[in-house]
Amino acid sequence: MLSIVTAALIGTLLELFLFGVYAVLFTAVIYLFRSRHGSLPTNKPALWVLLGLVTQFLTITAHCIVTIYKLFLGAAAAEFYLDLSTPSSVTSIALLVLSSLVTDTLVIYRLYVIGSHRRKLIIFPLAFLVGQAVSAGGVIHRFVEMRPGDHSSSDGWVATNLALSIVISVYSTAMISWKIWRISTVVNKLSEHIDGGMRNTSILAILIESAALQTSAAIGTLVTFQLGFVGQAVWAGIMPVIFGLATVLIHSRIGLGWSHESDRQIASNPTRIHFVENDGLQVEHELEDRHRK
């Protein structure tokens, strides 16, 4: 079995590596936002997404800094890593639950936008998000109240927080996938591509892959925390950056698809999709013949 020091070192190395990948993808997403919307988006959906991505990045960066600080402060002392009452440990867990909250908020907002701004679609996940925020406060309080020498991090608040995050991710992704599938059945009868060049099936695959990554991280952390295994030092360390990767993978891959197709300037057989409030889709299909004089 791994020692707590070895697990902490492995977790630190993995987090630093994954953070490097995440930082590159985040930079690409910001560049795509600037190229499509300017330095500051004027439409609210893009602006809220950008603010969410920046908040998530700052939270994950802070968590990574705390991890490096703990590495140099703890050196090879197992007692340091086992003592969960230290300020660095409390700060680390606070940033972890905050990154989870920001990620799930972005997922719900994505559902809200794709769901034609219909509030009833997000009532269920919002209720769970409120519960997650309450449990996040409970998790932080649990760690603040720990006494030196208390090695146990398994707690009902931790399990509740992670379980709620899993439910939000699965529900929102399922609803988004259903919405895109509905669009596909209509659009495929009219045109091979949606406006912007991304295939519906490609978007669906991206969403499912990213959701699976996020959900797997939450499940892995939940299991290790409940088992009290030293592997939680690895999972808890890399969980925030995995949340970040799951988010930026969606925006970078879809955004790169938009950029690629816009450079090609596809003008033939464009299809425009409009989400409307009255439970349906308004699809405009315009056929253009370039050879018509």
Q: What is the reported pTM?
A: 0.78
- pLDDT averaged over the chain? 75
Q: Residues 6 or more apart from 275 whose CB is under 8 A from it? A: 114, 115, 116, 117, 281
Only one residue has tokens 């703890």, namely 74
What digits encode the pLDDT tens for the residues 116-173?
Answer: 788 888 999 999 999 999 999 998 888 888 776 665 555 688 888 888 999 998 898 8
Q: Kindly state whether residue 98 falls inside one of the protein's structural domains.
A: yes
Q: Kindly state whether residue 111 falls inside one of the protein's structural domains.
A: yes
Q: Kindly state whether residue 51 falls inside one of the protein's structural domains.
A: yes
Q: Kindly state whether residue 233 falls inside one of the protein's structural domains.
A: yes
- Indicate the pLDDT class of residue 286, thresholds 50, 70 and 90: very low
What digits encode the pLDDT tens for the residues 29-48?
Answer: 888 877 776 666 677 777 88
- The DSSP 8-state label assigned to residue 197 in this structure reads S
Sign of CA dihedral 174, 179, 183, 186: positive
The secondary structure element, H or E, covering residue 276 is strand 271-276
Residue environment code for 162-196, b if the CB has 16+ CB neighbours within 10 A, otherwise e: bbbbbbbbbbbbebbbebbeebbeebeeebebbbb
Distance CA(101)–CA(132), nearest Å, equals 7
Residue 114 near residue 180 (C-beta atoms within 8 A): yes
Q: Kindly state whether residue 272 falls inside one of the protein's structural domains.
A: no
Whether the per-residue pLDDT at 12 is higher than 80: the answer is yes
pLDDT at residue number 191: 55
Number of domains the chain contains:
1
Distance CA(174)–CA(189), nearest Å, equals 23
Q: Kindly state whether residue 273 falls inside one of the protein's structural domains.
A: no
Q: Kindly state whether residue 282 falls inside one of the protein's structural domains.
A: no
Distance CA(3)–CA(11), nearest Å, equals 12
- Helical H runs in 188-231? 200-227
What digits encode the pLDDT tens for the residues 85-106?
Answer: 788 888 988 999 999 999 999 9
More reliable by pLDDT, 194 or 62: 62
Q: Kindly state whether residue 276 falls inside one of the protein's structural domains.
A: no
Specify the CATH number for the domain of residue 110.
1.20.1070
**Residue 181: domain span:** 4-266
- Indicate the pLDDT class of residue 234, thresholds 50, 70 and 90: confident
